[in-house]
Amino acid sequence: MEKQMFCYQCEQTAGCSGCTGKAGVCGKTARTAGLQDELTGALIGLARTCASNPKTENTDRLILEGLFATVTNVNFDDDAIERLIDKVRAEKEQIAPGCAVCEAKCGNTDEYDMKRIWEAQEDIRSLKSLILFGIRGMAAYAYHAMVLGYVDEEVNTFFYKALSILAEDWGMEELLPVVMETGAVNLKCMELLDRANTETFGNPEPSEVSWKVEKGPFIVVTGHDLYDLKLLLEQTKDLGIQVYTHGEMLPAHAYPMLRKYPHLKGNFGTAWQNQQKEFADIPAPVLYTTNCLMPVKDSYADRVFTTEVVGYPGMVHIGEDKDFTPVIQKALELGGYEKDMEFTGSNGGSTTMTGFGHQAVLGVAGQIIAGVKSGAIRHFFLVGGCDGARPGRSYYTEFVKQAPKDTVILTLACGKYRFNDLDLGTIGGIPRMLDMGQCNDAYSAIKVALALADAFGCGVNELPLSMILSWYEQKAVCILLTLLHLGIKNIRLGPTLPAFLSKGVAEYLIKEYGIAPVTTPEEDLKTILG
């Protein structure tokens, strides 16, 4: 059967090999997938044009926006993607007006046909996919930083370099260093976003968050964009409307500049893949600020609003003016619950803790070091990453439950919803579970690991620290590349290895970095702890 599309960038791709039919597992249609490929090809053409023509601030923004729009579960709106393609083409013509009328076509600035990657030799396809998916994830981080007014020219320049390289007929020896460079630049990008968030909203502080929803009008905010949340909180103050986070917005409760709003009440629901069930018939609107949008069901379609790069056909989109009046009016119209509602996390817990960023954790570094030296803390596990619906993801819940009482669990991203309502107790006053934030906050985990290695006078790989990661989309890919750039070995990755890792590339990563698929909690704990 002829392929109607090809996409294998997310963990749940069909048959662990690639979505090729009328629609992908994520819900995007073959037409949407085709438009996203067309957009990527246009971005490559724009990047190559800038090799000999000066880019502008608008060019940088379009590169980030275009790459971000192609991340899984961000934009399902074909019209919006087509408008973005038109903007990219218009920008290229503005930068190099002579190319369109040139009689001696060189082809250097032409749009790229993505089939050349998807149909390339498997190892070349694999390495180019790692670069492409890595910069898509990194673009999301850079975009969030840019919204807050933080940019880094080195980071921005790399997007042009990486996009241009995708069009080159390079071999494995030439592409592998670019893969590792993607990880190196992403470290700089994550540091930029960390600085943007903390300097704008303050350093996260450990905070208890409730799953209770109070009676009366409310709004659920999902995605990752803290600035959108702040704007909404400002526009809803003194209106009698409560605001609840969802998914990756949970860590917002730890930022002092956001906690000062008393109507930021708690968290509604769990991880992103449960939204179709959790949002059904709720008496409140849902604002999607970034990715993790699933195809919208009729049971709540009239209550969904989108903003920034996220889009879905038929939904009301809040534009650049950031006027959330339609969302506010819908909240008042629906009225919320008639009485307080008690909800729980995935394991029945009524509260969870968040806010253990690198500032908070390193603030008690002395206690942690003493705990390790005394034997009270035997091992650290970083159990985090993207969540998803594949049944094998119960592994992460069981791993945390079975981790010995003298071990500490560091976690981040939405994978923590599998276990973040569990009460694991404390060691010497330090909670055994430390939620470090969003996937956008992965820099915190890296900074803590490097600081502990420095304190103990050893390399990261010599620390009593093991990384048990789950992945779903492209932000997880660029984080993985950063960990490899730092030389971190023996990472366990699941619930499956990426489909875009060819046999040759997978063998290289296993040999050089010891990457291994997760097995069972019992076996992995025994292997790690002995």
Averaged pLDDT for residues 421-444: 96
> Does the pLDDT value for residue 246 go beyond 90?
yes
- The three-state (H, E, C) secondary structure of 254-306, written as one string: HCHHHHCCCCEEEECCCCHHHHHHHCCCCCCCEEECCCCCCCCCCCCHHHEEE
> Does the pLDDT value for residue 99 go beyond 90?
no
> Does the pLDDT value for residue 1 go beyond 60?
no
Task: Report all structural domains of the chain as residue ranges with CATH numbers, in order of start.
Answer: 14-200 (1.20.1270.20), 207-334 (3.40.50.2030), 355-529 (3.40.50.2030)
Share of the chain above pLDDT 70, in %: 98
- C-alpha 67/C-alpha 43 separation (Å) is 8
pLDDT at 504: 96
Averaged pLDDT for residues 252-259: 98
Are 194 and 441 spatial neighbours (Cβ–Cβ below 8 Å)?
yes
Residue 108: pLDDT band (50, 70, 90) is confident
> Does the pLDDT value for residue 459 go beyond 80?
yes
pLDDT at 20: 96
pLDDT at 111: 95
Averaged pLDDT for residues 480-504: 96
Q: In what order do the strands lie in the sheet containing 304-307?
A: 264-267, 242-245, 218-222, 286-288, 304-307, 316-318
Averaged pLDDT for residues 99-108: 65
Residue 318: pLDDT band (50, 70, 90) is very high
pLDDT at 332: 98
> Does the pLDDT value for residue 349 go beyond 70?
yes
Residue 500: pLDDT band (50, 70, 90) is very high
pLDDT at 392: 84
Cβ neighbours around 61 below 10 Å, total: 16
pLDDT at 257: 98
Share of the chain above pLDDT 90, in %: 95
Mean pLDDT of the chain: 96
pLDDT at 103: 59
Cβ neighbours around 425 below 10 Å, total: 9
Averaged pLDDT for residues 362-376: 95
pLDDT at 105: 66
The residues near 397 (Cβ < 8 Å, ≥ 6 apart) are 346, 347, 418, 419
Q: pLDDT tens digits, residue range 113-140?
A: 999 999 999 999 999 999 999 999 999 9
pLDDT at 391: 82
The residues near 21 (Cβ < 8 Å, ≥ 6 apart) are 4, 5, 14, 30
> Does the pLDDT value for residue 340 go beyond 80?
yes
> Does the pLDDT value for residue 100 go beyond 90?
no
Q: First-to-last CA distance in the chain?
A: 49
Averaged pLDDT for residues 30-42: 98
Token duo for residue 516: 């291994």
pLDDT at 109: 83
Dihedral (C-alpha) 470, 473, 477, 480: value to the nearest 10 degrees?
-20
